[in-house]
Amino acid sequence: MYSNSLDTQVTSGGLQQFIFHKLKQKSKSGSNDNQESWSWTQRLRAIYTKEPQNVSFDLYGGGGGSFFQCLPVKLKLKIFSYLSAQSLCVACCVCRDWSMLTSDPSLWRSLLIRDIRQWPQISHLSNPQLYLEVNSDWSQKEIYLKCSPAFQRQLKAATSTFQQVSSVLKSFMPRKVPRVAMFGPGLETSTSGLVRCILYEDSNTFQRVAMFPGQFEGMGGGITLRLPAGHSLHLSVLYSASKQERENRAGVDRLEGNKLLQKLDGDQAGDSGNNATGFQYELKPQLRHLCQTLDGFIFVVDATQSLDSMTRSRAELQAMLRERKSVPVPVLVLSCTQKHEDVRHPACDVVKCLDMASLTQPWLVIDCVTDTLNSIDDGIVWLVEQCQLR
């Protein structure tokens, strides 16, 4: 508590004790420093005689030195730790001393741990764990700026003119419409409305162009979609069973009775150490042929489900990707909630549960909302562009 009386003794914290120590040093420095000592006294008096919200005093004394510069380095770093990444980048331009302090590795390491749970998307290029595991020469600050979605958006906006020109040039080149399969446990939980919103409801996000039949024993049929930006794709939706069968097996492990997968026996399974179920699965023959014709995958998970159930779904994703191991194709993971206000697991937890860092192909995990299709178009645009780079 601040005291409004100059005669009242107050037990102070670390910052006040530091100021008292400075005042004693100034009082012992001699008569030549009386003016500077008076300046320090006035600052301390302002703290103890005014309301906290009205404390105002000159940060620069008679000697021209900054009050902040007199603080210990650890205290400065503690103060900087409360700033955002953008504020730290602004502070580094103040002076050389601040530039060194705001580049401290421990500062950016703690900032990364704090902010990564708020990031709405993580990709194979913006996964911080990737750079830490390979002992990258990049500093903690460089890793943060490389991986942060906010800074990547600012960088993209700064080069928007070049991207617009390149997009115009690409429009004159013939491009293949990619064939994509959507599957995953999120199609069979509270986020199952995603398919209905995309394929059947009118929206400004997806335009339905045409339908195409299946080629492999009735599998692989779907619909051609076009996005406002001009991107198109052939989308096939794969369910683990019929609607009636899915409703009847409520409470049963989804991998049991999955019509897309079959369990390998002991001789064929090999190493399944990275599989949470303890078993290894492979695609059924008709789906295996379809998988060879695909250019990309969309794996849908329900971000409101438990992390254990999300980890068990890794077996389904691995079985599908194993069929395209020779020619890696991009993977988009839609981490969905039904409504925006639903409590969800962050994208970094989804990356860890699905072991995305072990994949060799391009991948992106993005948070989205099924009722509004929020961010789903951004993920599909990324997937189409990755497919057309191959």
| Domain ranges, residue 114 | 86-157
Instruction: Please report which confidence band the pLDDT of residue 43 belongs to, taking 50, 70 and 90 as the band edges.
Output: low
Residue 40 lies in a domain: yes
Residue 310 lies in a domain: yes
**CA–CA distance, 132 with 147 (Å, rounded to integer):** 12
Residue 132: the pLDDT is: 78
The number of domains in the chain is 3
Q: Are 293 and 151 in a shared domain?
A: no
Q: Are 67 and 91 in a shared domain?
A: no
- Average pLDDT value for the chain: 79
Strand partners of residue 232: 226
Examine the pLDDT at 65 and tell me if it is beyond 50. no
Examine the pLDDT at 388 and tell me if it is beyond 90. no
Q: Are 148 and 251 in a shared domain?
A: no
Among 102-111, 141-150, 225-234, 320-329, the range scoring the smallest mean pLDDT is: 320-329
**CA–CA distance, 125 with 361 (Å, rounded to integer):** 11
Examine the pLDDT at 30 and tell me if it is beyond 90. no
Examine the pLDDT at 147 and tell me if it is beyond 80. yes
Mean pLDDT of 36-43: 54
The H-assigned helical ranges of the chain are 14-28, 34-49, 73-80, 85-91, 96-101, 105-115, 128-133, 140-147, 149-158, 160-171, 193-199, 243-248, 266-269, 285-291, 307-312, 314-322, 347-353, 376-389
Q: Are 295 and 147 in a shared domain?
A: no
**CA–CA distance, 88 with 82 (Å, rounded to integer):** 10
More confident residue, 351 or 252: 351
Long-range CB contacts (within 8 A, 24+) of 74-80: 75/14, 75/15, 75/18, 76/101, 77/101, 77/104, 77/106, 77/107, 80/104, 80/107
Residue 191 has a CB neighbour count (10 Å cut-off) of: 28
CATH number at residue 108: 1.20.1280.50
Listed ranges 66-75, 125-134, 143-152, 273-282; the one with the highest mean pLDDT: 143-152
Residue 76 lies in a domain: no
CATH number at residue 322: 3.40.50.300
Strand partners of residue 216: 219
Examine the pLDDT at 114 and tell me if it is beyond 80. yes
Residue 323: the pLDDT is: 84
Six-digit token string for 266 = 């002991």
More confident residue, 27 or 219: 219
Q: Are 99 and 223 in a shared domain?
A: no
Q: Are 34 and 145 in a shared domain?
A: no
